[in-house]
Structure 1
Amino acid sequence: MPHIPSLPNPAHLSDFFKRFPDNTAPLMAYTDGILRSKGELSIGERELIATFVSGLNACAFCHDSHKVYAEAYGIDGDLIEALVTDIETAPVSEKLRPLLRYVAKLNSLPSKIVQADSDAVYAAGWGEQAMYEAISVCGLFNMMNRLIEGAGLNFDYIANPKAHPAHEGYSPKLERSYRAFGERLEAEDKDD
């Protein structure tokens, strides 16, 4: 149930951003830059991190919606669930495991990150760009999870999977999906 009385029930992220539109377009442009730009991590790996962080934070809205994106970019949905349950036994590559351990620790105990944590990531073969991308996705989804949970947004894609932009799998339209979402909401705000 929404914690902001003027939002409908169920409330979607678009309802929240339409109600408070001031920073939506720049936030969505930033999100596109973090999740969709070229980088050392694939788009699927970045969506995996977004889904993983949201699962660790028990943000069902972001976990469920970004799981659909991760799957559209080739990530196995069962892997995501296994990672949230137990990163050590999840069937993830040995290269990716240290990066996900780093993200998990950054997510829950950021002040406890030590040199050995980042050294393990670099020893697995990742560069500084991958570290930047993983840190950025983790930080972005900590913020997004708090916006969602704080506002009480509760739209359920599982109940209505066709409402999700990636419900049919990969499409070139997904390449700018966040920026397009922000631009659409900004245009709707100007029409009102």
Structure 2
Amino acid sequence: MSHLKSLPAETRLLHVFEAYPGPARPLLDLHEQVMRAESPFTPGERELIAAYVSGVNSCGYCHGIHTITAEAFGVPEGLLAAAVRDLGTAPVDEKLRPVLAYVGKLTRTPSRITDADAEAVFAAGWDDRALHDAIQVCALFNFMNRVVEGIGLRADDAYATTSGLRLHEIGYAGLAKLLPAESSTAHP
């Protein structure tokens, strides 16, 4: 149920982006850079991180959509639900486990991140660029989770599937192309 009275109750994030294209365009550009540009992490691994952060935040909208997107990139079905339930016992690749632990801690208790948390990521074989990129995905999705929850967006399983598969197919740059041509700042 959207808290924005100018938008329908069953509003989706794309509707918000269409209504407010001025801030949406640079935000989608940032998504494309963080989620699809060159990185030590594959797009699927970045979608996994995004879905995991969203699950830690209990943001059903983002968790559902990005779980579908991650699975479309090859993340095994059910892995994200298991990781959010208990990262220690989830069937997560051992190289990714410390990365997810890091972004989970950064999400829950950011002021408690320590050198040891970073060292665990490095010990798994990742470098500074990888840690930086994981932090960027984590920060972006903590931001997006607050936007989605603040607006009151909800998505059922059917919409999560549609949106997640669309993201896999066209990426964030493709979403930007769906916005109105003019970068109007007028609101409905």
Give TM-score scaled by structure 2 length.
0.91
Say whether the 8 Å CA contact 2:41–2:130 is kept in structure 1: yes
Q: Which runs of 5+ in 1 are unaligned?
A: none
Looking at structure 2, the residues matched to 162 and 110 of structure 1 have their Cα atoms a distance apart, in angstroms, of 31
Partner of 1:182: 176
Partner of 1:166: 165
- In 2 relative to 1, CA 161–62 (structure 1 residues): closer, same or farther, beyond 3 Å? closer
Say whether the 8 Å CA contact 1:8–1:15 is kept in structure 2: no
Aligned residue type for 1:142? N
Partner of 1:46: 46
Say whether the 8 Å CA contact 1:79–1:91 is kept in structure 2: yes
Deviation at 1:162, TM superposition (A): 6.1
Could you give the per-residue CA deviations for residues 141-162 of structure 1, whole angstroms, max 9, x where no partner exists? 0000000000011232x13466
Q: Which stretch of the first structure deviates more once superposed, 178-187 or 87-96?
A: 178-187
Deviation at 1:54, TM superposition (A): 0.4
Deviation at 1:183, TM superposition (A): 2.9
Say whether 1:103 aligns with 2:103.
Answer: yes
Partner of 2:20: 20
Say whether the 8 Å CA contact 2:61–2:160 is kept in structure 1: no
- In 2 relative to 1, CA 187–154 (structure 1 residues): closer, same or farther, beyond 3 Å? same
Deviation at 1:53, TM superposition (A): 0.4
Counterparts of residues 12-161 of structure 1 (less than 5 Å): 12-156=12-156, 158-160=157-159
RMSD of aligned C-alpha atoms? 2.0
Looking at structure 2, the residues matched to 96 and 143 of structure 1 have their Cα atoms a distance apart, in angstroms, of 22
Looking at structure 2, the residues matched to 38 and 32 of structure 1 have their Cα atoms a distance apart, in angstroms, of 10
Q: Which runs of 5+ in 2 are unaligned?
A: none
Looking at structure 2, the residues matched to 71 and 159 of structure 1 have their Cα atoms a distance apart, in angstroms, of 15
Provide runs of 4+ in structure 1 moved above 4 Å: none
Deviation at 1:21, TM superposition (A): 2.0
Q: Percent identity?
A: 43
Say whether the 8 Å CA contact 1:62–1:145 is kept in structure 2: yes
- In 2 relative to 1, CA 131–162 (structure 1 residues): closer, same or farther, beyond 3 Å? closer
- In 2 relative to 1, CA 182–88 (structure 1 residues): closer, same or farther, beyond 3 Å? same
Say whether the 8 Å CA contact 2:82–2:91 is kept in structure 1: yes
Could you give the per-residue CA deviations for residues 22-63 of structure 1, whole angstroms, max 9, x where no partner exists? 111111011011011121011111000000000111111101
Give TM-score scaled by structure 1 length.
0.89
Partner of 1:6: 6
Aligned residue type for 1:72? A
- In 2 relative to 1, CA 96–161 (structure 1 residues): closer, same or farther, beyond 3 Å? closer
Deviation at 1:68, TM superposition (A): 1.1
Say whether the 8 Å CA contact 1:51–1:63 is kept in structure 2: yes
Deviation at 1:83, TM superposition (A): 0.4
Aligned residue type for 2:128? E
